[in-house]
Amino acid sequence: MTAPGFLPLYALLLLLAGCATRIGEPMNMGQGVYMVSGSTLSVTASTHDVVTEIQRHASSFCASSGGQALEVIKMDTPTEKLVRFPEGRLQFRCVKQTQDVASTGTGSR
């Protein structure tokens, strides 16, 4: 197969690689606060999609730390521009679940 024959395959691989949201590992910022960031090269993903994945990753991190719940401190999302792909940063801490949160999963009502 010649180089031009591989072009559709390369384009497909680049498209598939861009669909995944890349999320870093939580970094300890001190005093029990962590920061995690994520981004995507997908042209079809929104900032909301990236933020949802970041929160899911942070929540899993807290759950693996002894069943603790995620407490969001700050969420940064740069304004979307024509040439900027969706990205976000989340500052959070892991807190002990109260009985209300553990039983209902909704927190305060």
Domain residues for the domain of 68 are 21-98
What whole-number distance in Å separates Cα of residue 22 and Cα of residue 109? 33
In a domain, 75, yes or no: yes
In a domain, 43, yes or no: yes
Q: How confident is the model at residue 108 (pLDDT cuts 50, 70, 90)?
A: very low
In a domain, 106, yes or no: no
pLDDT of residue 4: 60
| Domain count for the chain | 1
In a domain, 90, yes or no: yes
Average pLDDT over residues 29-54: 89
In a domain, 38, yes or no: yes
pLDDT of residue 5: 62
In a domain, 13, yes or no: no
The answer to whether 40 touches 19, Cβ cutoff 8 Å, is: yes
Both structure tokens of 24: 């870093």
Q: What percent of the chain has a predicted confidence (pLDDT) above 70? A: 67
SS (H, E, C) 20-66: CEEECCCEEEECCEEEEEEEECCCCCCHHHHHHHHHHHHHHHHHCCC
Q: How confident is the model at residue 101 (pLDDT cuts 50, 70, 90)?
A: very low
